Amino acid sequence: MYVTRTLSQFRKYQKTLSEESPEGPFSGVLVITDEEAETDDTFCFGMCKRTKIEKLPFPQDKILSVVHTDSSGNRDTSVKKVLFIPALDQPLSSNRYYVVHARGRHKGKVCVCSKEIEKGLCCFPDILHEKKPKPLDPRNIYQTVKINRHHDKTFFAKSMAPDGTPPSFLKKKGWELRASRSLHPRRPREALGLDDELRARLPEFGFSVSTIRSGSVIVGEWYCPFMFVKENCSVSYQMKKSMFYRMTLSQYWERIYHCENNNLGDTNDENNDEDEGLVRVEANVLREANYVKGIEAVKEEKEGNGGFYWYIPVQGLRGRGERRRKTCSGSAVGLSFVVVERMRRVMEEGGWVEGGRKVVRVERDEQIGVSRRDFRDLNGNNNREWRRFGCYVLVESFGLRRADGVLLVKCLFRHTQRLRSQPKNDYSHILLSTATSAAASRKITLAENKIVMEEIETAARNDRWCYPRLL
């Protein structure tokens, strides 16, 4: 998974190019063109845009053209449209990239370097046949090249494998790089990765007990290039729909147990300042769940080229054997092992423990103490009791979305070691009793009475105490 940084930032602060990815293993940095960089790449008072790219690092929100010219430099002899995706686990200063074909019959596939040992396997012993592009496998070092500067603001590539030779259009020295087309409006946006401080803060716990699920808080954002995601459609159509997929990590509280007070209205002991109630919590919690387009799914074991995990909806377990359709209407979705492994590491950093039982039995006793001093009406009566009780578990959810906003995959992780509970107190009759007594002691208008009742209803609905201002 990749975080994003702006091109202008690297132009201003060259030292940041040498920084390791802040996300750890199985991560990288995408360079996106911001408004400041766009302005710097104009001339004639901003009326014309400069398409030639003269310096590293290369941006990822544009399709780029590798151009070879004749000896005079006036005529283009060959043009290859590609995407340069930074290699995982490498700083941008390493200039290591996966070169992805953006046009032609190999669209969506990654350039592969040939091996020197393969020279001479045909009738012409000095000729090295180029390897055909293949789907990305991050473990294959022959799919990674290093881009080097050449004279007159041109480039050439070398293989990261000691015995490797890049394709001729990259190996030949002196090729130019030009911006061909922007991916706007579906290009990557700002994604700063994991916000550790916000994640440790946890979502607010001030909601009503009747709430089944609290509001979610996004604590992390990343992008996954299309090579790390497989949909049940052609690669060409997939690239048309989404070159980059947005990954988010969100937190929320989910109710796992709920009960009501069967002794509501019973007289309490006046000699005790605290009314201690004991609630027994018993619930079965599914620790991990996966969904594809909103349908519950199962995750298959890693297999195939590139090491993909396939998420298959329970309703359609025919799986990857389904006929491949032209459109992305198929259900199964594959995620590269680097994406799944990165999610697992993020979960472990947050206290998640992998393995063990899929369903955990939660059993605990909760003490509920309600102070008499806090709930006395104007007549001095002790009219306070808890009505409902809820126990909640912290849920962290990864969501993978296309560029058009469609949610493809959702992976839920329930932290059964992080539980919180709260009772809902019976405020309504306390408020009504207090308001009735106060209203009887003074005369108020109908309009004022309406305001008082609205305040009472709002307070009771939000499970909190309030004293109407007009009383």
In 87-126, where do the E strands start and end? 96-101, 114-115
What's the CA gap between 58 and 67, in Å, rounded? 15
Q: What single-letter DSSP state applies at residue 195? A: -
What's the CA gap between 12 and 40, in Å, rounded? 12
Rounded to two decimals, the pTM is: 0.81
Query: What confidence tens digit (pLDDT) does each residue in 20-64 have?
Result: 877 889 999 999 998 888 777 776 766 677 788 989 999 999 999
Fold of 2-182: Trefoil (Acidic Fibroblast Growth Factor, subunit A) (2.80.10)
Radius of gyration of the chain measured on its C-alpha atoms: 31
Q: Give the mean model confidence (pLDDT) for residues 254-264.
A: 83
From first CA to last CA, the distance across the chain in angstroms is 58
pLDDT of 208 reads: 84
pLDDT of 129 reads: 77
What's the CA gap between 74 and 463, in Å, rounded? 76
| Residues 244/213, Cβ–Cβ less than 8 Å | no
Residue whose tokens read 């599914």? 286
What's the CA gap between 249 and 346, in Å, rounded? 9
Composition of the chain by helix, strand, coil, percent to 5: 20, 40, 40
**How far is Cα of residue 228 from the mean position of the Cα atoms in its chain?**
14
Of 63-67, 338-342, 424-428, 445-449, the least confident: 424-428
Alpha-carbon torsion angle 232, 236, 238, 242, nearest 10: 170
3-state secondary structure of 260: strand
CA nearest to 401, candidates 291, 244, 252: 244
Of 75-84, 240-249, 326-335, 388-397, the least confident: 326-335
Pair type for strands 407-425 and 274-286:
unpaired
Write down the H helix ranges in 54-190: 168-171
Q: How sure is the predictor about 371, in pLDDT bands with cuts at 50, 70 and 90?
A: very low
Of 8-17, 115-124, 145-154, 410-419, the least confident: 115-124
| Residues 83/107, Cβ–Cβ less than 8 Å | no
Query: What confidence tens digit (pLDDT) does each residue in 106-142 have?
Result: 999 999 999 877 665 555 555 667 889 999 999 999 9
Average pLDDT, the chain: 82
Single-letter code of the amino acid located at 308 = F
Element (H, E) at 364: strand 359-371
What's the CA gap between 29 and 96, in Å, rounded? 12
What's the CA gap between 217 and 396, in Å, rounded? 10
Q: Which residues are within 8 A (CB) of 71 and not within 5 positions of it... i.e. 6 or more apart?
A: none
pLDDT at 382 over 50: no
pLDDT, greater one: 135 or 184: 135
Q: In this structure, what token pair is assigned to residue 139?
A: 């473990």
Longest dimension (CA), the chain: 110
pLDDT at 375 over 50: no
pLDDT of 405 reads: 92
pLDDT, greater one: 259 or 183: 259
Q: Which residues are within 8 A (CB) of 259 and not within 5 positions of it... i.e. 6 or more apart?
A: 279, 388, 389
What's the CA gap between 99 and 356, in Å, rounded? 41
What's the CA gap between 350 and 200, in Å, rounded? 8
| C-beta neighbour count of 461 within 10 angstroms | 12
